[in-house]
Structure 1
Amino acid sequence: MAKYEYWLTPEGLLLLEGWARDGLTDEQISNNIGISRSTLAEWKKKYEDISDTLKKGKEVVDIQVENALLKRALGYSYEEVTKEICENPETGNLEMKITKKVKKEVVPDTTAQIFWLKNRRPDKWRDKHEVNSNSGEKAVEKYIRAIEEDMRK
Protein backbone atom coordinates (compact mmCIF):
# COMPACT_ATOMS: atom_id res chain seq x y z
CA MET A 1 0.00 0.00 0.00
CA ALA A 2 1.38 3.43 -0.99
CA LYS A 3 1.73 5.93 1.85
CA TYR A 4 -1.09 8.19 0.61
CA GLU A 5 -3.60 5.32 0.37
CA TYR A 6 -4.05 5.04 4.15
CA TRP A 7 -4.87 8.76 4.31
CA LEU A 8 -7.74 8.22 1.84
CA THR A 9 -9.40 5.63 4.12
CA PRO A 10 -12.16 6.70 6.53
CA GLU A 11 -9.76 6.26 9.47
CA GLY A 12 -7.01 8.30 7.83
CA LEU A 13 -9.39 11.08 6.81
CA LEU A 14 -10.87 11.22 10.31
CA LEU A 15 -7.38 11.60 11.77
CA LEU A 16 -6.55 14.38 9.29
CA GLU A 17 -9.79 16.20 10.12
CA GLY A 18 -9.10 15.91 13.84
CA TRP A 19 -5.61 17.38 13.47
CA ALA A 20 -6.96 20.25 11.40
CA ARG A 21 -9.78 20.83 13.90
CA ASP A 22 -7.20 20.88 16.72
CA GLY A 23 -5.52 23.79 14.95
CA LEU A 24 -2.44 22.04 13.55
CA THR A 25 -0.81 23.74 10.58
CA ASP A 26 -0.19 21.92 7.31
CA GLU A 27 3.48 21.64 8.30
CA GLN A 28 2.58 20.00 11.61
CA ILE A 29 0.12 17.66 9.89
CA SER A 30 2.72 16.65 7.29
CA ASN A 31 5.20 15.98 10.13
CA ASN A 32 2.61 13.75 11.84
CA ILE A 33 2.14 11.82 8.59
CA GLY A 34 5.89 11.57 8.04
CA ILE A 35 6.02 13.50 4.78
CA SER A 36 7.23 16.92 3.66
CA ARG A 37 4.92 19.91 3.53
CA SER A 38 5.30 20.01 -0.26
CA THR A 39 4.15 16.39 -0.49
CA LEU A 40 1.06 17.23 1.53
CA ALA A 41 0.42 20.15 -0.83
CA GLU A 42 0.67 17.76 -3.80
CA TRP A 43 -1.73 15.31 -2.11
CA LYS A 44 -4.21 18.13 -1.52
CA LYS A 45 -4.10 19.02 -5.22
CA LYS A 46 -4.29 15.41 -6.39
CA TYR A 47 -6.76 13.94 -3.86
CA GLU A 48 -9.91 15.96 -3.31
CA ASP A 49 -10.86 13.92 -0.23
CA ILE A 50 -7.70 14.99 1.59
CA SER A 51 -8.13 18.63 0.60
CA ASP A 52 -11.83 18.71 1.55
CA THR A 53 -11.18 16.95 4.87
CA LEU A 54 -8.49 19.43 5.91
CA LYS A 55 -10.69 22.38 4.90
CA LYS A 56 -13.63 20.94 6.83
CA GLY A 57 -11.54 20.49 9.97
CA LYS A 58 -10.09 23.99 9.79
CA GLU A 59 -13.53 25.56 9.18
CA VAL A 60 -14.79 24.20 12.50
CA VAL A 61 -11.93 25.84 14.41
CA ASP A 62 -12.25 29.08 12.45
CA ILE A 63 -15.94 29.29 13.32
CA GLN A 64 -15.22 28.62 16.99
CA VAL A 65 -12.59 31.37 17.05
CA GLU A 66 -14.91 33.79 15.24
CA ASN A 67 -17.62 33.08 17.79
CA ALA A 68 -15.22 33.54 20.71
CA LEU A 69 -13.91 36.82 19.25
CA LEU A 70 -17.44 38.13 18.72
CA LYS A 71 -18.44 37.11 22.25
CA ARG A 72 -15.37 38.91 23.66
CA ALA A 73 -16.04 41.99 21.52
CA LEU A 74 -19.64 42.28 22.71
CA GLY A 75 -19.05 41.27 26.33
CA TYR A 76 -20.94 38.57 28.17
CA SER A 77 -22.01 37.38 31.59
CA TYR A 78 -21.58 34.06 33.33
CA GLU A 79 -22.34 32.49 36.67
CA GLU A 80 -19.44 31.59 38.93
CA VAL A 81 -20.18 28.78 41.35
CA THR A 82 -18.07 28.31 44.47
CA LYS A 83 -18.02 24.89 46.12
CA GLU A 84 -16.50 23.78 49.40
CA ILE A 85 -16.02 20.46 51.09
CA CYS A 86 -18.30 20.30 54.12
CA GLU A 87 -19.10 17.60 56.62
CA ASN A 88 -22.64 16.28 56.46
CA PRO A 89 -23.90 16.51 60.07
CA GLU A 90 -26.25 13.56 59.60
CA THR A 91 -23.76 11.08 58.10
CA GLY A 92 -20.43 12.58 59.10
CA ASN A 93 -19.24 12.15 55.48
CA LEU A 94 -17.47 14.90 53.56
CA GLU A 95 -19.50 16.35 50.68
CA MET A 96 -19.05 19.08 48.09
CA LYS A 97 -21.60 21.84 48.68
CA ILE A 98 -22.34 24.93 46.65
CA THR A 99 -21.62 27.85 48.94
CA LYS A 100 -22.02 30.78 46.59
CA LYS A 101 -23.31 31.67 43.11
CA VAL A 102 -22.23 35.00 41.65
CA LYS A 103 -23.20 36.48 38.29
CA LYS A 104 -20.10 38.01 36.69
CA GLU A 105 -19.85 40.39 33.75
CA VAL A 106 -17.05 40.49 31.20
CA VAL A 107 -17.05 43.96 29.67
CA PRO A 108 -16.80 44.33 25.89
CA ASP A 109 -13.19 44.32 24.70
CA THR A 110 -12.32 47.28 22.48
CA THR A 111 -9.29 45.49 20.99
CA ALA A 112 -11.52 42.63 19.88
CA GLN A 113 -14.00 45.16 18.47
CA ILE A 114 -11.30 46.97 16.50
CA PHE A 115 -9.89 43.70 15.16
CA TRP A 116 -13.36 42.53 14.13
CA LEU A 117 -14.29 45.80 12.42
CA LYS A 118 -10.98 46.22 10.58
CA ASN A 119 -11.31 42.74 9.15
CA ARG A 120 -15.05 42.59 8.55
CA ARG A 121 -15.62 46.22 7.48
CA PRO A 122 -12.32 47.41 5.99
CA ASP A 123 -14.19 49.93 3.81
CA LYS A 124 -15.03 51.91 6.98
CA TRP A 125 -12.43 50.85 9.55
CA ARG A 126 -9.05 50.33 7.87
CA ASP A 127 -6.20 52.58 8.97
CA LYS A 128 -5.31 53.62 5.42
CA HIS A 129 -8.04 54.91 3.16
CA GLU A 130 -7.62 54.73 -0.58
CA VAL A 131 -7.39 58.10 -2.27
CA ASN A 132 -8.55 58.46 -5.82
CA SER A 133 -5.28 59.18 -7.58
CA ASN A 134 -6.94 61.33 -10.26
CA SER A 135 -8.47 63.75 -7.74
CA GLY A 136 -5.17 63.84 -5.82
CA GLU A 137 -3.24 64.67 -8.98
CA LYS A 138 -5.72 67.41 -9.92
CA ALA A 139 -5.39 68.99 -6.49
CA VAL A 140 -1.59 68.99 -6.77
CA GLU A 141 -1.78 70.49 -10.28
CA LYS A 142 -4.09 73.27 -9.02
CA TYR A 143 -1.72 73.97 -6.13
CA ILE A 144 1.29 74.17 -8.48
CA ARG A 145 -0.59 76.50 -10.85
CA ALA A 146 -1.56 78.75 -7.94
CA ILE A 147 2.09 78.95 -6.80
CA GLU A 148 3.26 79.68 -10.35
CA GLU A 149 0.68 82.51 -10.68
CA ASP A 150 1.76 84.00 -7.38
CA MET A 151 5.38 83.89 -8.51
CA ARG A 152 4.53 85.70 -11.76
CA LYS A 153 2.84 88.49 -9.87
Structure 2
Amino acid sequence: MARAPKPAGKSGKARTKAAPKAKPQPATRRARKIGKTAPPVRHGPPWDERFVVTAGTIVALGGSDEQVAEALGCDLDDIAFWREEHPAFDRAFERDPRTGGRPTLWDDRNVEIAKGLAKLGATDLDVAQAFGVSVRTIHRWKLEYPEFAEALRLGKEEADSLVEQSLFKRATGYTFDSEKIVTAGGVVQRVETMQHVPPDTTAAIFWLKNRKAADWRDTKNLKHGVDEDDPLADFLKEIGGRTFKPVDK
Protein backbone atom coordinates (compact mmCIF):
# COMPACT_ATOMS: atom_id res chain seq x y z
CA MET A 1 0.00 0.00 0.00
CA ALA A 2 1.53 3.36 -1.07
CA ARG A 3 2.28 5.99 1.58
CA ALA A 4 0.21 9.10 1.52
CA PRO A 5 2.17 12.26 0.64
CA LYS A 6 3.14 14.60 3.49
CA PRO A 7 0.92 17.58 3.86
CA ALA A 8 2.26 20.74 2.31
CA GLY A 9 2.98 23.83 4.36
CA LYS A 10 1.14 27.10 4.24
CA SER A 11 2.95 28.01 1.05
CA GLY A 12 1.72 24.89 -0.60
CA LYS A 13 5.17 23.42 -1.05
CA ALA A 14 6.26 20.10 0.33
CA ARG A 15 8.49 20.27 3.39
CA THR A 16 12.18 19.33 2.86
CA LYS A 17 14.70 18.34 5.49
CA ALA A 18 17.07 21.24 6.25
CA ALA A 19 20.82 20.64 5.77
CA PRO A 20 22.81 20.44 9.05
CA LYS A 21 24.68 23.59 9.98
CA ALA A 22 28.50 23.54 10.02
CA LYS A 23 29.93 23.19 13.47
CA PRO A 24 31.84 26.37 14.44
CA GLN A 25 35.57 25.89 14.64
CA PRO A 26 37.14 26.66 18.03
CA ALA A 27 39.06 29.93 18.21
CA THR A 28 42.19 28.19 19.45
CA ARG A 29 42.23 25.87 16.46
CA ARG A 30 41.77 28.77 14.05
CA ALA A 31 44.59 30.69 15.70
CA ARG A 32 46.82 27.65 15.52
CA LYS A 33 46.04 27.24 11.85
CA ILE A 34 46.76 30.89 11.07
CA GLY A 35 50.02 30.72 13.00
CA LYS A 36 51.30 28.01 10.69
CA THR A 37 50.77 30.01 7.52
CA ALA A 38 51.30 33.67 8.50
CA PRO A 39 54.87 34.68 9.51
CA PRO A 40 55.21 36.58 12.79
CA VAL A 41 55.28 40.36 12.43
CA ARG A 42 58.35 41.93 14.01
CA HIS A 43 58.31 45.57 15.04
CA GLY A 44 61.76 45.83 16.65
CA PRO A 45 64.85 47.57 15.25
CA PRO A 46 66.57 46.08 12.19
CA TRP A 47 69.52 43.80 12.76
CA ASP A 48 72.94 45.43 13.05
CA GLU A 49 76.29 43.62 13.33
CA ARG A 50 77.32 46.05 16.06
CA PHE A 51 74.75 44.40 18.33
CA VAL A 52 77.27 41.56 18.85
CA VAL A 53 79.83 43.88 20.49
CA THR A 54 77.17 45.72 22.49
CA ALA A 55 75.66 42.52 23.86
CA GLY A 56 79.06 41.02 24.63
CA THR A 57 80.12 44.12 26.55
CA ILE A 58 76.95 44.19 28.65
CA VAL A 59 77.19 40.46 29.40
CA ALA A 60 80.87 40.82 30.31
CA LEU A 61 79.88 43.44 32.87
CA GLY A 62 77.33 41.05 34.37
CA GLY A 63 74.26 42.45 32.62
CA SER A 64 71.10 40.45 32.08
CA ASP A 65 69.24 39.66 28.86
CA GLU A 66 66.67 42.30 29.79
CA GLN A 67 69.41 44.93 30.03
CA VAL A 68 70.76 43.89 26.64
CA ALA A 69 67.30 44.23 25.14
CA GLU A 70 66.87 47.67 26.72
CA ALA A 71 70.24 48.83 25.36
CA LEU A 72 69.39 47.63 21.84
CA GLY A 73 65.88 49.08 21.94
CA CYS A 74 64.11 45.76 21.41
CA ASP A 75 62.32 43.07 23.43
CA LEU A 76 63.27 39.58 24.55
CA ASP A 77 61.53 38.04 21.54
CA ASP A 78 63.90 39.94 19.25
CA ILE A 79 66.85 38.77 21.33
CA ALA A 80 65.75 35.15 21.04
CA PHE A 81 65.16 35.49 17.29
CA TRP A 82 68.57 37.06 16.66
CA ARG A 83 70.33 34.43 18.76
CA GLU A 84 68.87 31.77 16.49
CA GLU A 85 69.70 33.63 13.28
CA HIS A 86 73.19 34.92 14.17
CA PRO A 87 75.62 32.50 15.90
CA ALA A 88 78.08 35.29 16.77
CA PHE A 89 75.31 37.13 18.59
CA ASP A 90 74.37 33.96 20.46
CA ARG A 91 77.97 33.40 21.58
CA ALA A 92 78.03 36.89 23.04
CA PHE A 93 75.58 35.67 25.71
CA GLU A 94 77.77 32.77 26.86
CA ARG A 95 78.86 33.29 30.44
CA ASP A 96 81.85 31.97 32.32
CA PRO A 97 80.49 29.72 35.08
CA ARG A 98 83.24 30.92 37.45
CA THR A 99 82.57 34.63 37.18
CA GLY A 100 79.19 34.91 35.49
CA GLY A 101 80.76 36.89 32.66
CA ARG A 102 81.89 35.95 29.19
CA PRO A 103 84.11 32.89 28.68
CA THR A 104 87.83 33.46 28.84
CA LEU A 105 88.35 32.54 25.17
CA TRP A 106 91.95 31.77 26.07
CA ASP A 107 94.19 30.17 23.48
CA ASP A 108 97.94 29.65 23.62
CA ARG A 109 98.21 31.50 20.31
CA ASN A 110 97.09 34.64 22.13
CA VAL A 111 100.67 35.12 23.32
CA GLU A 112 102.16 35.67 19.86
CA ILE A 113 99.16 37.66 18.69
CA ALA A 114 99.43 39.98 21.68
CA LYS A 115 103.15 40.49 21.10
CA GLY A 116 102.56 41.35 17.46
CA LEU A 117 99.85 43.85 18.38
CA ALA A 118 102.06 45.45 21.02
CA LYS A 119 104.85 45.85 18.46
CA LEU A 120 102.46 47.89 16.36
CA GLY A 121 101.88 50.22 19.29
CA ALA A 122 98.59 48.74 20.50
CA THR A 123 97.44 49.58 24.01
CA ASP A 124 95.68 47.17 26.36
CA LEU A 125 92.36 48.55 25.13
CA ASP A 126 93.36 47.90 21.51
CA VAL A 127 94.40 44.34 22.39
CA ALA A 128 91.10 43.76 24.19
CA GLN A 129 89.12 44.94 21.19
CA ALA A 130 91.19 42.72 18.89
CA PHE A 131 90.37 39.65 21.00
CA GLY A 132 86.75 40.71 21.48
CA VAL A 133 87.00 40.81 25.28
CA SER A 134 87.02 43.51 27.93
CA VAL A 135 90.13 45.21 29.31
CA ARG A 136 89.40 43.49 32.61
CA THR A 137 89.87 40.14 30.84
CA ILE A 138 93.25 41.30 29.48
CA HIS A 139 94.35 42.20 33.01
CA ARG A 140 93.19 38.81 34.27
CA TRP A 141 95.13 37.05 31.51
CA LYS A 142 98.24 38.94 32.59
CA LEU A 143 97.89 37.49 36.07
CA GLU A 144 96.93 33.97 35.03
CA TYR A 145 99.37 33.62 32.13
CA PRO A 146 102.79 35.20 32.83
CA GLU A 147 103.92 34.48 29.26
CA PHE A 148 101.06 36.67 28.02
CA ALA A 149 102.12 39.58 30.22
CA GLU A 150 105.75 39.12 29.14
CA ALA A 151 104.74 39.13 25.46
CA LEU A 152 102.91 42.43 25.88
CA ARG A 153 105.85 43.95 27.75
CA LEU A 154 108.41 42.86 25.14
CA GLY A 155 106.21 43.99 22.28
CA LYS A 156 105.75 47.44 23.80
CA GLU A 157 109.49 47.74 24.49
CA GLU A 158 110.31 46.91 20.87
CA ALA A 159 107.79 49.48 19.67
CA ASP A 160 109.28 52.11 22.02
CA SER A 161 112.77 51.23 20.78
CA LEU A 162 111.75 51.74 17.16
CA VAL A 163 110.27 55.13 18.03
CA GLU A 164 113.44 56.11 19.89
CA GLN A 165 115.60 55.14 16.92
CA SER A 166 113.39 57.12 14.55
CA LEU A 167 113.47 60.15 16.85
CA PHE A 168 117.25 59.91 17.16
CA LYS A 169 117.66 59.80 13.39
CA ARG A 170 115.32 62.75 12.99
CA ALA A 171 117.25 64.74 15.60
CA THR A 172 120.68 64.01 14.10
CA GLY A 173 119.78 63.76 10.43
CA TYR A 174 120.12 60.75 8.16
CA THR A 175 120.71 59.71 4.56
CA PHE A 176 118.74 57.11 2.64
CA ASP A 177 118.72 55.58 -0.84
CA SER A 178 116.02 56.73 -3.18
CA GLU A 179 115.26 57.09 -6.86
CA LYS A 180 113.98 59.80 -9.12
CA ILE A 181 112.03 59.59 -12.34
CA VAL A 182 113.58 61.78 -15.03
CA THR A 183 112.97 62.28 -18.72
CA ALA A 184 116.01 62.24 -21.01
CA GLY A 185 115.57 62.48 -24.76
CA GLY A 186 111.88 61.71 -24.42
CA VAL A 187 112.58 58.52 -22.50
CA VAL A 188 111.40 58.13 -18.91
CA GLN A 189 114.12 56.67 -16.71
CA ARG A 190 114.54 55.77 -13.06
CA VAL A 191 117.72 57.18 -11.58
CA GLU A 192 119.06 55.93 -8.26
CA THR A 193 120.05 58.70 -5.89
CA MET A 194 120.73 59.44 -2.24
CA GLN A 195 118.75 61.91 -0.21
CA HIS A 196 119.78 63.55 3.03
CA VAL A 197 117.37 64.68 5.74
CA PRO A 198 118.94 67.45 7.84
CA PRO A 199 118.73 67.39 11.64
CA ASP A 200 115.48 68.62 13.12
CA THR A 201 115.84 71.11 15.96
CA THR A 202 112.51 70.28 17.59
CA ALA A 203 113.31 66.57 17.71
CA ALA A 204 116.76 67.30 19.15
CA ILE A 205 115.34 69.52 21.91
CA PHE A 206 112.71 66.91 22.77
CA TRP A 207 115.35 64.21 22.97
CA LEU A 208 117.69 66.23 25.18
CA LYS A 209 114.95 67.40 27.54
CA ASN A 210 113.94 63.80 28.18
CA ARG A 211 117.37 62.16 28.18
CA LYS A 212 119.32 64.97 29.91
CA ALA A 213 116.61 66.77 31.81
CA ALA A 214 119.06 68.19 34.39
CA ASP A 215 120.92 70.13 31.73
CA TRP A 216 118.16 70.95 29.25
CA ARG A 217 114.98 71.45 31.26
CA ASP A 218 113.23 74.81 31.09
CA THR A 219 112.69 75.20 34.84
CA LYS A 220 115.11 77.37 36.78
CA ASN A 221 116.09 77.16 40.42
CA LEU A 222 115.12 80.38 42.14
CA LYS A 223 117.02 81.27 45.29
CA HIS A 224 114.80 82.18 48.19
CA GLY A 225 116.31 84.12 51.07
CA VAL A 226 118.27 87.27 51.89
CA ASP A 227 122.03 87.74 51.83
CA GLU A 228 123.63 88.45 55.17
CA ASP A 229 125.13 91.71 53.88
CA ASP A 230 121.73 93.00 52.87
CA PRO A 231 120.25 95.68 55.25
CA LEU A 232 117.01 93.72 55.21
CA ALA A 233 118.81 90.84 56.93
CA ASP A 234 119.72 93.05 59.93
CA PHE A 235 116.15 94.25 60.19
CA LEU A 236 114.80 90.71 60.23
CA LYS A 237 117.26 89.76 62.97
CA GLU A 238 116.09 92.69 65.11
CA ILE A 239 112.42 91.77 64.96
CA GLY A 240 113.34 88.16 65.80
CA GLY A 241 110.44 86.59 63.99
CA ARG A 242 107.86 88.81 65.66
CA THR A 243 104.85 89.93 63.71
CA PHE A 244 103.66 93.47 63.22
CA LYS A 245 100.49 94.67 64.93
CA PRO A 246 98.50 97.78 64.02
CA VAL A 247 98.87 100.71 66.39
CA ASP A 248 95.71 102.39 67.64
CA LYS A 249 95.61 106.09 66.87
- TM-score, structure 1 as length reference: 0.71
The answer to whether structure 1 residue 145 and structure 2 residue 232 are counterparts is yes
Cα RMSD between the aligned structures? 3.2
CA separation in 1, counterparts of 2:140 and 2:105? Answer: 11
Shift of 1:130: 4.9
2:203 alignment partner, one of 112, 119, 130: 112
Structure 2 contact 117–155 (Cα < 8 Å) conserved = yes
Deviation per residue, 1:75-95 (Å, 9 max, x gap): 012232124799xxxxxxxxx
Any idea what the Cα deviations from partners look like across 1:37-92, whole Å, max 9, x if unmatched? 13312322332111100011111111111111001100012232124799xxxxxx
Structure-1 residue corresponding to 2:194: 103
**SS at structure 1 position matched to 2:106:** helix
Q: Could you tell me how far apart the structure 1 residues matched to 2:231 and 2:128 are?
A: 60
Q: CA deviation at 1:145?
A: 3.1
- Indicate the structure (1 or 2) with the bigger Cα radius of gyration: 2
Report runs of 4+ in structure 1 exceeding 6 Å deviation: none
Q: Note the residue ranges of structure 2 that are not aligned, 5 or more in a row.
A: 1-95, 97-102, 237-249
* 1:30 Cα deviation from its structure 2 partner: 0.8
Q: How do 1:45-84 and structure 2 match up within 5 A? A: 45-83=143-181
Q: Which has the higher strand share?
A: 1
CA distance in 2, matches of 1:57, 1:120: 22
Cα contact 2:177–2:194 (8 A) shared by 1 = yes
Distance 1:23 1:52 in 2: 15
> What amino acid does structure 2 have at the position aligned with 1:121?
K
Distance change >3 Å, CA 119–CA 60, structure 1 → 2: same
Q: Which has the higher helix share?
A: 1
Tell which has more relative contact order, 1 or 2 (C-alpha 8 A, sep 6+). 1
User: Aligned residues: percent identity?
Assistant: 32
Name the TM-score, length of structure 2 as normaliser. 0.46
2-side partners of 1:77 and 1:103: how far apart? 7
CA distance 1:127–1:144, shift in 2 (3 Å): farther
How many Å separate the matches in 2 of 1:85 and 1:45?
Answer: 62
Does 2:104 correspond to 1:3? Answer: yes
Q: What SS does the aligned partner of 1:5 have? A: coil
CA separation in 1, counterparts of 2:205 and 2:195?
A: 24
Letter in 1 for 2:104: K
